[in-house]
């Protein structure tokens, strides 16, 4: 049996930033990632549905969060400068 290896994947940080972004899609300003996550605490499952919980972080870049970097993907609403 012959051993065949697959080619290594390209670095995702470079090509993702270079790809055209569809209108309205969230994209991290720091790394260019497009995966966002909302972190909640105290969520309870009742009858197969998630109920309650306190939102700790909303729309944070998941790739940066895994590295310990807080990178919000949406600017907080407030006074526009």
**Does residue 21 or residue 54 have the better pLDDT?**
54
Collapsing DSSP to helix, strand or coil, 64 comes out as helix
pLDDT score of 74: 82
Task: Tell me the percentage of the chain whose pLDDT exceeds 70.
Answer: 80
| Per-residue pLDDT band at 18 (split at 50, 70, 90) | low
Domain assignments of the chain as residue spans, ordered by start: 26-75
pTM over 0.75: no
The alpha-helical segments, DSSP class H, found in 3-80 are 13-18, 62-66
pLDDT in tens, 41-58: 999 999 999 998 999 888
Cα 21 to chain centroid distance, Å, stands at: 15
């Amino acid at each position: 049996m012959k051993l065949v290896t697959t080619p290594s994947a390209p670095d995702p940080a470079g090509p993702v930033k270079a790809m055209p972004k569809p209108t309205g899609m969230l994209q991290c300003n720091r790394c260019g990632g497009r995966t966002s996550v909302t972190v909640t605490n105290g969520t309870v499952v009742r009858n197969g549905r998630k109920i309650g919980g306190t939102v700790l972080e909303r729309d944070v870049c998941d790739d940066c969060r895994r590295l310990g970097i807080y990178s919000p993907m949406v600017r907080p609403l407030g006074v526009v400068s």
